[in-house]
Structure 1
């Protein structure tokens, strides 16, 4: 006799949810809690990411139940209408932040952190009753926008032609949709962000796909100027990647099986976590970052066109092979991603040098030599951010941006430009940063050259820039604006044109990412006071000119904590009184 299987319950107790076990939902206690003498309680459902259920969904659900996912996790349907979401949603991004795991490299210093285990009726949290309904056509459109505008800047997911058959879990797809929504006004990005945060609320099982979802979400949160949230999300992604040992050499086979494309996706995921965490550590003035504290055994990524076209054989290039290129008898071709990774490794050396209690001239020169050697050893096809087809090489563009940023961080704090920073003479301990070295002029020259090269990158098409490029543009503008105070009037036009170029790039980026608009407003106010002092006086926002150059300076310079954009000159000085990077990009 055929019997109809009981329909799975849409309700589960808290204990069963924590261990991802089925619950028979008897009101309390359930059978499992009774047998194990556990405290059985239920939390009201917080439904989040919902879309219309179609016959296609039912078929997909059935297929997913039979097909295991690489990495030991099972796939699930994208239909979440019957899914209970146990965690509460913050009132708005930035109100609450899940705690950063212990040992994390980047920790928000001024955020009020609330435990993920806090009662759901605390005043800091609230359940969301809003839902997101997407048709299949809308999903396809958002995926298309993601791959068209964003994927090349962080290419960790499979290429576009493999996406539909990859059976990614719901929370990763939701992040893809959320990011894609920034490139069209047809969708509410805020609503999609809220739904994603519910789907990714801790606790989450540690999987490759969850790591990818958290990493991509952290980039988007940073680009939306949710900096506290971004750091917390990135911290979760970092700890999960290390827990999964994605930095080990055998990780591609362990999580990608025998599929070369999936193996490559695993490698790219680790190195993307490494690069993003390292760069944001610099932005937030951290002396180190978590990924740089583990052994870097992961294999290096391949070229973008090879990945996009589909790999037939896995590639096994190691970091040792890359490091040996300087003294090799024959040249070996390395991907653009390899040079990007090296740029972050050098940036990590700059951060460590800044944190040292004593700045030895040999140590500074050693890092500077590494920066110059990186540039001199670039092959002809990597010497610029434009590839042989005339397109922008996204990985090389970021590599150059990271390296120029490292140069600015190394030289600007040790240069005479700090003397020219408006309002610097009014800061009590600014004298502690006055360079006494006779090489300060050389440091200034190198910082200015790096800012010029950043402005040259801004001249390239910006419609597909990574949102993290915003920070590099801000650093370039700051150096150029500082140089205006030190140089004669004959150089003003050159500095103004470069600042105008970089602020123009920020203006283009702000169409999609709020962080660019936030930085642009600050920089425009400052630049107006420098280049248009008469107009600033008429508006009542000007301040006395500096005695060095006679260029008018805006009184709002004090709103921008210049010294906090760069590491302090040595580790003995405490500049926390000037705030943090949130003064430019508040949460």
Structure 2
């Protein structure tokens, strides 16, 4: 006998009737022709370790909640059984939007990627059972779209998984999606269940074209978030090489391989520009890594606005013009512009010219202008959710300011002298006592750390936010040493000077603790953040924080 479901639809719950929680319509509502829908119970599931959801309407830092608890803001139940029956079940405890039928999501012609051959591996791709309507309701896939997709929105929207387009997804890409989604559930068995299938993407045939590019790009991001930096760079290199080989950087590619679907064409455009963004971030976080796509000519269309792509609005997707520095057609365009400016910073820093003052001033002005033209992180959307593209545009711009001013500041870092480890380059810093820190340098770190306080779950930020927070901790720790090494004035001003120094040190200590809190929350999802936090805490202890 099967035990009753812990989830009940609204009509059954209201009438206190037993519900089998079938998706998208339960059996009782189907037989009675009743509108069926699901919402998360306010009580949640009361397992032994069940986490109570935090409502979005609560005031920041209210009650007894600590900063770390607020940053976490988790809404996921923690008592799911990671057994085989659950992994194969479409039932879910996560209340994502329903998937109504819509002509926008049903392209008329669906052909294989390689039009010049019969490619049997492209037909009936999901013969393992994923070729069903239920894939859109798979719990791990929903976790992917709820937590990871907004920060790296290259795959088809979740609504498209409810259409014939899903038949063309390689099952290694579906497994990789589940594997990434499993990071947001606190039971390691889910990750272990999908990791081997996800790794199949590394040896997938190049004839899968843009699908393999997407898989390699996602693997690169996840490898970095696990601290496997060399493997991440290798996956990224392979993804870029394949993308350029098949011509994803060209404007004609998206429509030529769209299968008459504007969604798929948009997905290909997003994939190329995501390569551009990740390539820039990897190059910045690892000094000697080249930014390959910075000098690569490309006329691929700029991605549209997120609310359009994900189908909240019934609008026709269209080719967008390149971004203009004082006007952005989408938040994705602003993110691209931020990475382009980061490329200018890296170019200046790696220049062998002796006199770079004018170039530095020019790039600094471009960064300031970009920040002044960027809207708030929620202004492109009517929902209270943070626009992750704008969030990253600001994160990248503040990082660019730090990278630009650091070589020209008296603030200096030394490397951790570690043996072989699984750490990223963002963990390899340790402060040395400098004479003084540049004001622009420190202000950029202040603004960057403020991004950790935006009112949504920090676990939904890009994994690259780990390195941004680590850089903030390093800068604020160095500034803490600067303030501590300064001497007060003489005579009657000594007491006032000492009080001012103490106040500054308290502010910087709070900034460092904010960074620790953010890393602590990210560490619950990504192993690299846990490693970074441990090393940052050790560094803080060494300097007396």
State whether structure 2 residue 125 is matched by structure 1 residue 77.
Answer: yes
Matches within 5 A, 1:215-234: 215-234=217-236
3-state SS, counterpart of residue 123 of structure 2: coil
* Paired position in structure 1 for 2:542: 529
User: 2:508 matched to which residue of 1?
Assistant: 495
User: Whole-Å Cα distance in 2 between the matches of residues 384 and 233 of structure 1?
Assistant: 30
| Among candidates 383, 391, 397, match of residue 376 of structure 2 | 383
- 1:479-558 alignment to 2 at 5 Å? 479-487=475-483, 488-532=501-545
8 Å contact kept, 1:260–1:312 = no
Residue 181 of structure 2 is aligned to residue 184 of structure 1: no
On the 8 A contact 1:287/1:352 being kept in 2, the answer is: no
> What residue is the counterpart of 1:576 in the other structure?
none
Deviations 1:22-58 (A, max 9, x none): xxxxxxxxxxxxxxxxxxxxxxxxxxxx99999x9xx
Deviations 1:97-151 (A, max 9, x none): xxxxxxxxxxxxxxxxxxxxxxxxxxxxxxxxxxxxxxx7898111111111111
Distance verdict in 2 for CA 1:308–1:348, change over 3 Å: same
Deviation at 1:416, TM superposition (A): 1.7
- C-alpha deviations, 1:431-479, integer Å up to 9, x for none? xx999xxxx97x7111100100111001123031111111111111111
Taking the TM superposition and a 5 Å limit, the aligned residue runs for 1:4-153 are 68-70=111-113, 72=115, 74-79=122-127, 140-153=138-151
Structure 1: state its 5+ residue gaps: 1-49, 57-65, 82-135, 327-331, 425-432, 533-587
Residue 316 (structure 2) pairs with residue 313 (structure 1)? yes
Partner of 2:27: none
Local SS of the residue matching 1:511: coil
Bigger CA drift: 72-81 or 164-173? Answer: 72-81
Residue 160 of structure 2 is matched in structure 1 by 162
Q: C-alpha separation between the residues in 1 aligned to 2:291 and 2:284?
A: 9
Shift of 1:287: 5.8
Question: In 2 relative to 1, CA 456–531 (structure 1 residues): closer, same or farther, beyond 3 Å?
Answer: same
Listed one character per residue, the Cα deviations across residues 331-376 of structure 1 (whole Å, up to 9, x for unaligned) are x552111111111111111111111112510011111111011122
Q: TM-score, normalised by structure 1?
A: 0.62
What is the 5 A alignment of 1:435-474?
Answer: 444-460=438-454, 461=456, 462-474=458-470
Structure 2, unpaired ranges of 5+: 1-83, 91-108, 418-431, 484-500
Question: Do the aligned partners of residues 476 and 155 (structure 1) sit closer, same or farther apart at CA in structure 2, a change above 3 Å counting?
Answer: same
2:111/2:259 contact within 8 Å kept: no
Distance 1:451 1:53, change over 3 A: closer
Q: In the aligned structure 1, how far is the partner of 2:343 from the partner of 2:370? A: 15
Q: How does 1:294-373 map to 2 (within 5 A)?
A: 294-309=296-311, 312-319=315-322, 322-323=323-324, 326=326, 334-358=329-353, 359-373=355-369
Match in the other structure for 2:277: 275
1:522-568 deviations in Å (ceiling 9; x for gaps): 00111223344xxxxxxxxxxxxxxxxxxxxxxxxxxxxxxxxxxxx
What's the CA shift for 1:76? 3.3
Query: Match for residue 172 of structure 1?
Result: 173
- Cα drift, residue 77 of structure 1: 3.2
Say if 2:417 is the partner of 1:417: no
Alignment match, 2:5? none
Deviations 1:509-529 (A, max 9, x none): 111110100100000111223
CA RMSD for the aligned pairs? 3.3
Q: 2:377, 2:386 within 8 Å by CA — same for their partners in 1?
A: no
What's the counterpart of residue 406 of structure 1? 400
User: Shift in Å at residue 313 of structure 1?
Assistant: 2.5
CA distance in 1, matches of 2:200, 2:318: 37
Contact 2:341 2:366 in 1 (8 A): yes
Give the equivalent residue in structure 2 for 1:15. none
Change (3 A) 1:171 1:251: same
Contact 1:150 1:464 in 2 (8 A): yes
Report SS of the residue matched to 2:156: coil
Supply the distance in 2 between the matched residues of 1:474 and 1:385 (Cα, whole angstroms). 25
Shift of 1:254: 1.2
Alpha-carbon spacing, 1:288–1:68, altered in 2? closer, same or farther (3 Å): same
Q: CA deviation at 1:292?
A: 1.8
CA distance 1:434–1:224, change in 2 (3 Å): closer
CA distance in 2, matches of 1:421, 1:225: 20
Secondary structure of 2:138's counterpart equals helix
Kept after mapping to 2: 8 A contact 1:171/1:210: no
Partner of 2:183, secondary structure, is helix
CA contact (8 A) 2:303 2:330 kept: yes
Q: Distance in 2 between matches of 1:188 and 1:259?
A: 33
Q: What are the within-5 Å matches in structure 2 for residues 246-261 of structure 1?
A: 246-261=248-263
The residue number in structure 2 matching 1:581 is: none
